[in-house]
Chain A
Amino acid sequence: MLLYILKRLVYTVPIALGVSIICFALVHIGPGDPLSTLLPEDAPQEVVDRLKAEYGLDKPLVLQYVIWLGKALTGDFGISIVTSRPVLGEVLPALVNSLILAIGGSILGFLVGTTLGGLAGFFHGRPADRVFTGMAITGVSVPHYWLAIVLVIIFSVELMWLPSLGMNMSGSTAFTFSIENFRHMVLPVIALSVIPAGIVTRTVRGAVAELLNQEFVEALRAKGMSERTIIRHVAKNAAPQVLAVMGLQLGYLLGGSILIETVFAWPGTGLLLNNAIFSRDIPLLQGTILVLALIFVAMNLLVDVAQATLDPRIKR
């Protein structure tokens, strides 16, 4: 087991390096100079040169990358061009807010997905299966940012039950466990949960339908076990695969929450990214994406290890 974890860890290093190269490259594929947002068009050459030296932009690309990576490894992601504050200080609080939404969305998606998928798999091939599978396809085909708007129209504009923007009334961006915050969470969490719900439904349905066809289920039935015991056995066998899918979905939600956070003005990494893009704050863009991508890489690793722990057959 330890060897497997070690192998996976070693394999993760080049991936993480590749991720850092892509994040670094982001600065250089864009049009114009990264400094263009800072400087007026007619800035004198010596000012441009001085700023370039200050940001290290006068050095060769490879050297710039090495310096940038070295700093990033020690937690120094640079200074936001717009706010002049350290990037990490901007990203971490936003990350907490995004995690709260992503975890909420994952839990809801998981609950809905396992229920619908379990039922669909159990009634495989019957009308109920068609209904639940149809719901799953709807879940993965619905543009979640549009669903978010529709939810706002129904629950905020028409019914006036739930708030449509932000995290709370005061405009603070720190999450506290208050009714206020939870009320603001309801709509974004629902909007985020549809895609994982659809994907988990498909996975669970496939796993359950396949497991029910296997001999050990037949054997359990022949032994006179109750349906409940059979369901328990099937659930145990389906768990590793479903948990793996769910773990990845949590990563996707965290990275892909930008659209939902934009609709609801939720102060997370998505909104931060949106602001970074439109103010062309490249260090902030780079830092946020690097942090999110590395979390996703770590999530993948965690899922693999967890899966191998639950299901020893996976270890090669």
Chain B
Amino acid sequence: MTATTAAAPALAADAPATAKRRGYWSTVWERLRRDPVTIGCAAIIGLILLAAISAPLIAPHDPYDTNMLKRLAPVGTDGFLLGTDELGRDMLSRLIYGARVSLFTAIAPVLGALAIGGTLGIVAGFLGGRVNMIIMRTMDVFYAFPSILLAIAISGALGSGIVNAVISLTLIFMPPLCRVAETVTTQVRNLDFVQAARATPASTGRILRVHILGNVLGPILIYASSLVSVSIIIASGLSFLGLGVSPPEADWGLMLNTLRQSIYVAPLNAALPGVMIFITGFCFNLMSDGLRSAMDVKL
């Protein structure tokens, strides 16, 4: 792959001399293998993803099946491993199904922002000049809002719903991704090998594809992965406020909201959805940190 070979000289510059011969990605893999924390976090995220995908197969009950006689059964009740919620629905099944919506509303905005903000940033960094100024000054305006406030403002104006939540979150993650992409692209653009490529008859498109993209995508992707942990907290927060997913959908933030009334009766049940948000955010954070040091990226 041309992109990988182009990435090697810029990013692995201060890797040990012996490792250099083995190529960039095998060095990264070598470092990752010796980092149990990152591997562990990746495994947990993988498990949660797997559970979300195979929810109908592994959930012990129907997540929408209410049972008024068994409301707020405590954790460990026979047949309901993690108890039931305020409508007698099985907590474990709802937490498993909840992973689907919660992960979607956390990851989709980051991907959307990555596509739009990342592209804008690379364009701004590559072209520089007036284009750069227009794009980056526009982004500065979005920076003038605390991100949670902007997400809530946009969601509040658009009204509740998954789509609106994803739109508002995409908008708040666009500026930081754009800024990182612009910074990295500007740095790479001024490196010698890009200047050398420009002296050859290579087209702008080819230079962008081979030399720029290959070198900027890594750092941008790592930054994006760290945003997922912020995203899941804000996305679940929107649902918690009643601005995201609407009932009876299973979503961790929404479950936290509806179970809040039951903290006097079943405190443990009420706290469980938050544990899932926390674990997911925590693992994404640690994984992103681990990848960052393994890939030797400084942001």
Chain A residues engaging chain B, CB cutoff 8 angstroms: 14-16, 18-19, 21-23, 26-27, 29-31, 137-138, 140-147, 149-150, 152-153, 157-158, 251-252, 254-256, 258-259, 262-263, 273-274, 276-278, 282, 285, 289, 292-293, 296-297, 300
Instruction: Spell out B's residues near A (CB within 8 Å).
Output: 137-138, 140-142, 144-150, 152-154, 156-159, 229, 233, 236-237, 240-243, 256, 260, 263-264, 267, 270-271, 273-275, 277-278, 281-282, 284-286, 289
> A15 CA to B138 CA in the complex, in Å?
9
Contact of A31 among B159, B278, B284 (CB under 8 A): B159
Which label, helix, strand, loop or mixed, suits the secondary structure of the A interface? helix
Asked if B281 and A22 sit within 8 Å, CB to CB, the answer is no
Provide the residues of chain A in CB contact with B256, threshold 8 Å: 145-146, 149
Tell whether A30 pairs with B144 under 8 Å between CB atoms, given A143-B237, A157-B267.
no
Q: Which residue of A lies closest to B229 (CB)?
A: A141
The one of A141, A150, A282, A300 that contacts B281, using a Cβ cutoff of 8 Å: A141
When C-beta atoms are compared, the residue in chain B nearest to A15 turns out to be B144
Chain B residue, CB-CB nearest to A158: B267
Which residue in A26, A256, A259, A277 is a CB contact (below 8 Å) of B240?
A259
Q: How far is the CB of B285 from chain A (nearest CB, A)?
A: 5
A277 contact from B156, B277, B286, B289, Cβ within 8 A: B156
* Alpha-carbon gap, A140 to B284, bound state (A): 11
**List of A residues within 8 angstroms of B271 by Cβ:** 146, 149-150, 153
Name the contact of A146 in the complex, choosing from B144, B267, B277 (C-beta under 8 A).
Answer: B277
> Can you list 12 pairs linking A and B with CB atoms under 8 Å apart?
A14-B141, A18-B138, A19-B141, A19-B144, A29-B154, A140-B285, A141-B285, A143-B236, A143-B278, A143-B281, A256-B149, A289-B149
Among A21, A145, A263, max chain B CB count under 10 A is at A145
Contact among B150, B260, B284 for A149, CB-based, below 8 A: B260
B145 touches A26 (CB 8 A): no
Known pairs A26-B154, A26-B157, A137-B282; A277 contacts B243 (CB<8 A): yes
| Chain A residues near B142 (CB-CB < 8 A) | 22
A37 CB, nearest partner CB in chain B, Å: 12
The 4 closest A-B pairs by CB, nearest first: A146-B274, A18-B141, A255-B146, A277-B156
CB proximity of A98 to chain B, nearest CB, Å: 11
Partner among A18, A29, A150, A153 whose Cβ is within 8 Å of the Cβ of B157: A29
Q: Is the CB of B144 within 8 A of A27?
A: no
- List, in ascending order, chain B residues with CB within 8 A of A30's CB: 157-159
Contact A26 B263 (CB under 8 A): no
Please determine whether A262 and B158 come into contact, CB atoms closer than 8 angstroms.
no
Specify the chain B residue showing the minimal Cβ separation from A134.
B286
- Measured between beta carbons, the chain A residues less than 8 angstroms from B240 are 145, 259
Name B's interface SS. Answer: helix
Which one of A31, A263, A273, A300 lies within 8 Å of B144 (CB-CB)? A300
Select from chain A the residue with minimum beta-carbon distance to B275: A146
A142 in contact with B278 given A31-B159, A259-B241 (CB within 8 Å):
yes
Pick from B145, B156, B236: contact of A22, CB below 8 A: B145
Pick from B146, B153, B229: contact of A251, CB under 8 Å: B146
Q: Is the CB of A276 within 8 A of B278?
A: no
Partner of B146 from A18, A26, A144, A256 at Cβ < 8 Å? A256
Complex CA–CA separation, A137 to B263 (angstroms)? 27
| CB < 8 Å neighbour of B285 from A22, A137, A146 | A137
Q: A146-B256, A153-B271, A158-B267 are in contact. Are A141 and B278 (CB under 8 A)?
A: yes
The distance from the CB of A142 to the nearest CB of chain B, in whole angstroms, is: 5
Which B residues lie within 8 Å of A251 (CB)?
146
**Which A residues are CB-close (under 8 A) to B273?**
146
Q: Is the CB of B286 within 8 A of A256?
A: no
A27's nearest neighbour on chain B, judged by CB, is B157
Is A137 in contact with B289, judged by CB distance below 8 angstroms? yes
- CB pair A258–B144 under 8 Å, yes or no, is no
B148 — which chain A residues lie within 8 A by C-beta?
252, 255-256, 258-259
Bound CA span A262–B256, Å: 13
